Structure 1
Amino acid sequence: MGRKGGNALSSPLTIAVVAGEESGDILAADLIAELRDLTGRQIDLIGTGGEHLAKLGQRSLIDPEDISIKGIAAVLTSLPKLLNHIRRVSSAIVKARPDALLIVDSPDFTHRVARRVRAALPDLPVIDLVCPQVWAWRQWRAKEMASYIDHVLCLLPFEPEALARLEGPAATYVGHRLARLESLKSSFEVQKARQVGDEPTLLLLPGSRGRDAKVLLPRYKEAILLLEELGHRPRLVLPTVARIEPLVRELVADWPREVTILTGEQARHKAFASADIAVAASGTVTLELALGGLPFVSTYRIDKVAWWAHQFIPVWSTSLPNLVADRPIIPELHDFDGRPSNIARELARLLESEQARGAQKEGFAAIRDRMDVSEPPGRVGARMLMEVIESASAGRLGGSK
């Protein structure tokens, strides 16, 4: 397929993309769309992904939900299926011989695919979009990555320096697509002047994984009931992704209060602008909320193995907004701290205190300033991808002389 003869300037490019989570699928699709515009060439896609890559022509080899796994215990439980998928996906990529392999997030899966592909096709360019959190834990992975990844496209401004310090692959800060979205910029401007009214709105964001929704939504339900006892009865809105919408509807079907469920990015960002506070699963959505200017509380349940391992994590926070700002901005309620009574009290504090909301909004402005870039991240990533492809091609030609 991809690495055949012919006119290199006009022949199609075959890109293997391995993405799992919804956020990774969006980022990959954004880069591929920019790559088409940059090169003017047909881009053929193979690999794994969700609905956004599917719109660009990819037929995912597996269900992306199968590799959207977070937490050591979850990985161990799903290991047989993961190993089977790793073999299947890597074999398909090796057989296709694409022009490059782009792996996106979900490192417990994507990096294992990359290692197998690199072993079979040592000259194939491998690019990693979304730096694994090697700066947070298992730092030895950075040096190991240099053996099978040619370049890392980082979404957070502190990551290239961290990779260099840890002797990892070459890296470039491309920026984050969320920081340039007009829908989030609009929400940010609205939220700067917004004050809590008599009928506030609370957004519930339990994450894009079905596993997370099953754990967090029952906690949110209890927290909402306790919030009522504290004198607050906000309107409830729950933005989710299409693939777990049926599960979410099932999970909230017996709630004593009506929950408005939304799907799609635009609907979610519109909800950011019209809400007063939010409670969210720790992850990409917390950065999304910060860039949208909506005060919130971060929650997560760490599995038992990860809870034991957390003592070895060198970073002071697990919250992306806090790490980008390099100071505490949002409360992080994990495990015991994340029991419903604590969630309810933190939400009540945000509803009652303009000072508390204002402090978060001030921090969000600092995050926006630090993440600002002059070009769309997908365009920068596409250009770097082509540079790596061209460099590898020049190396092969030079070596054949």
Structure 2
Amino acid sequence: MKAPRIFLIAGEASGDALGAALMRALRVARPDASFIGVGGEAMAREGLVSLFPLADIAVMGLAPVIRRLPKLIARINETARAVIAAQADCLVLIDAPDFTHRVARKVRRERPRMPIVDYVSPTVWAWRPGRAKAMRAYVDCVLALLPFEPEAHERLGGPRCVYVGHPLVERLDELTRYAPLEGSESGEPGDASRRDRPLLLVLPGSRVAEVQRMTPLYGETLKLLMRERPDLEVAIPVAPNMERTLRDALRDWPLAPRLITQQEKFAAFRNARAALVTSGVATLELALAGAPMAVAYKVSPAESLLRFLIEVDSIVLPNLVIGENAIPEFLQEAATPPALADAIASLLEDGAARARQLSAFARVRERLSEAGDNPSARAAQIVLQYVDGRESAAG
């Protein structure tokens, strides 16, 4: 077999982490593999020299995309030309479909026999389901992170879709093995100090717009909560690139929360009595760690007009994984301080609301583990099937 040459395109930080893990798994299976493409710091550590900085295309939200549209179009064209010139054995798209799929369509027109694998399914099961059928023209296989996605693609007429497992499964031991949060008063789960001073985590989001939109809401929620529970210890995990934005957003809060590092984050999840969280992958992390939560989400007025396109009963990932709305969610007008404060208050006490979530979390862990404990290796195996010609491109 010749040495495989694989072109990877990640569009944001989460895809960068996923791409780095995939590169490691591919190199284990084929030490002679080489990589080119677009990625961030994590993929650079695995040897990728990115065509341009990931920040050029890691844009979310309607208004920011419109402002940067000329640059995004230029990067799409540049990336497509690079893929075509590289004559790679396989193109791997990693999430960010608004960018990566536009590249893929251009590549498929010029190199119809080049296999194209999409790592992370677009949310065709939630909105714009027609995308699934359209993808068949330029995607040969979707590597799904969520167990219900293969059925969704089959039902919607999408391309081949294989559940490889969620990358969080590879960190399950980290998420579930108890250890005291450094510097906290807690010693072991259930000890007196922990019961007397419960830890409430607040996760306002991973993007600037989310933090700016959700943090004031959570501050007002805490004002209400602390009238009844002045003993609460409040902590917020913060990434280095978001610290300034977060500190600015916290100026009007009723207390100064403890800011914890990303290295401490999972320990905090395991120690938390409850969490107030903006919808996203953090809900899966909290579920696997066993931290009951209330989920909120708000978008801009312009984006809220698209709500009628949503075709699922929940936007909370653990709820979707088990097919049951066990975790309460508060969206747009429903996301009010009184509603969120009541939801969190019910989770701080032992009772039906808390027990229901803890029971659901066990089922989340079971479903996410169905594909095995090494999703990256499973994904690498399928990519190599296309590299080696054991699966062929549809074009």
Match of 1:226 in 2: 224
- In 2, Cα distance between the equivalents of 1:111 and 1:28? 16
Structure 2 residue aligned with 1:362, among 320, 345, 359? 359
Alignment of 1:66-77 (within 5 A): 66-72=56-62, 75-77=65-67
Q: TM-score, normalised by structure 2?
A: 0.89
Deviation string for 1:242-292 (max 9, x for gaps)? 33233223333564522222333x421111111211111111111111111
- In 1, Cα distance between the equivalents of 2:154 and 2:345? 43
> Structure 1 pair 234/51, CA: closer, same or farther in 2 (3 Å)?
farther
**Larger deviation, residues 344-353 vs 56-65:** 56-65
- In 1, Cα distance between the equivalents of 2:254 and 2:189? 32
1:375 deviates by 4.2
Deviation string for 1:328-376 (max 9, x for gaps)? 1111111111123322222122113433222111000011111213240
> Structure 1 pair 134/169, CA: closer, same or farther in 2 (3 Å)?
same
Match of 1:351 in 2: 348
1:296 deviates by 0.9
**Larger deviation, residues 30-39 vs 196-205:** 196-205
Q: Is the contact made by 1:14 and 1:99 (CA closer than 8 Å) also made in structure 2?
A: yes
Q: Is the contact made by 2:140 and 2:393 (CA closer than 8 Å) also made in structure 1?
A: no
> Structure 1 pair 337/69, CA: closer, same or farther in 2 (3 Å)?
farther
- 2:137 is paired with a residue of what secondary structure? coil
1:90 deviates by 2.4
1:76 deviates by 4.1
- 1:101 is paired with a residue of what secondary structure? strand
Q: Which amino acid aligns with 1:22?
A: A
- In 1, Cα distance between the equivalents of 2:303 and 2:177? 37
Structure 1 residue aligned with 2:236, among 219, 235, 238? 238
- Structure 1: where are the runs of 5+ without partners? 1-7, 397-401
> Structure 1 pair 394/115, CA: closer, same or farther in 2 (3 Å)?
closer
Q: Which amino acid aligns with 1:234?
A: L
Structure 2 residue aligned with 1:140, among 105, 130, 134? 130
Structure 1 residue aligned with 2:25, among 29, 34, 40? 34
1:380 deviates by 0.3
Q: Is the contact made by 2:219 and 2:254 (CA closer than 8 Å) also made in structure 1?
A: no
1:392 deviates by 7.4
- Structure 2: where are the runs of 5+ without partners? 182-187
- 2:237 is paired with a residue of what secondary structure? strand
Match of 1:103 in 2: 93
**Larger deviation, residues 237-246 vs 285-294:** 237-246
Structure 1 residue aligned with 2:166, among 155, 176, 190? 176
Q: Which amino acid aligns with 1:311?
A: F
- In 1, Cα distance between the equivalents of 2:242 and 2:56? 13
- In 2, Cα distance between the equivalents of 1:174 and 1:322? 19
Q: Which amino acid aligns with 1:35?
A: L
1:229 deviates by 2.4
- 1:128 is paired with a residue of what secondary structure? strand
Deviation string for 1:145-194 (max 9, x for gaps)? 01111110001111111101111111110011212311013259x9x975
Alignment of 1:196-275 (within 5 A): 197-252=195-250, 255-264=253-262, 266-275=263-272
Q: Is the contact made by 1:67 and 1:106 (CA closer than 8 Å) also made in structure 2?
A: no
Match of 1:5 in 2: none
> Structure 1 pair 251/14, CA: closer, same or farther in 2 (3 Å)?
farther
Deviation string for 1:210-238 (max 9, x for gaps)? 22112112222222122222334422221
- 1:149 is paired with a residue of what secondary structure? coil
> Structure 1 pair 290/69, CA: closer, same or farther in 2 (3 Å)?
farther
1:35 deviates by 0.4
Structure 2 residue aligned with 1:322, among 319, 324, 328? 319
> Structure 1 pair 360/67, CA: closer, same or farther in 2 (3 Å)?
farther
1:121 deviates by 2.2
1:36 deviates by 0.2
- 2:295 is paired with a residue of what secondary structure? strand
> Structure 1 pair 238/65, CA: closer, same or farther in 2 (3 Å)?
farther
- 1:368 is paired with a residue of what secondary structure? helix
**Larger deviation, residues 22-31 vs 240-249:** 240-249
Residue 84 of structure 2 is aligned to residue 94 of structure 1: yes
- 1:134 is paired with a residue of what secondary structure? coil
| Percent identical | 38
- In 1, Cα distance between the equivalents of 2:251 and 2:67? 28
> Structure 1 pair 240/20, CA: closer, same or farther in 2 (3 Å)?
farther
- In 2, Cα distance between the equivalents of 1:341 and 1:77? 36
> Structure 1 pair 168/253, CA: closer, same or farther in 2 (3 Å)?
same
The structure where helix makes up a greater share of residues is: 1
Match of 2:295 in 1: 298
Match of 2:7 in 1: 16
Deviation string for 1:25-69 (max 9, x for gaps)? 22221111000001121433321x222112112233344345344
- In 2, Cα distance between the equivalents of 1:147 and 1:321? 31
Deviation string for 1:69-95 (max 9, x for gaps)? 445555445433432332233233333
Query: RMSD across aligned C-alpha pairs, in angstroms?
Result: 2.6
Q: Which amino acid aligns with 1:241?
A: A
- In 1, Cα distance between the equivalents of 2:368 and 2:255? 38
- 2:27 is paired with a residue of what secondary structure? helix
Match of 1:286 in 2: 283
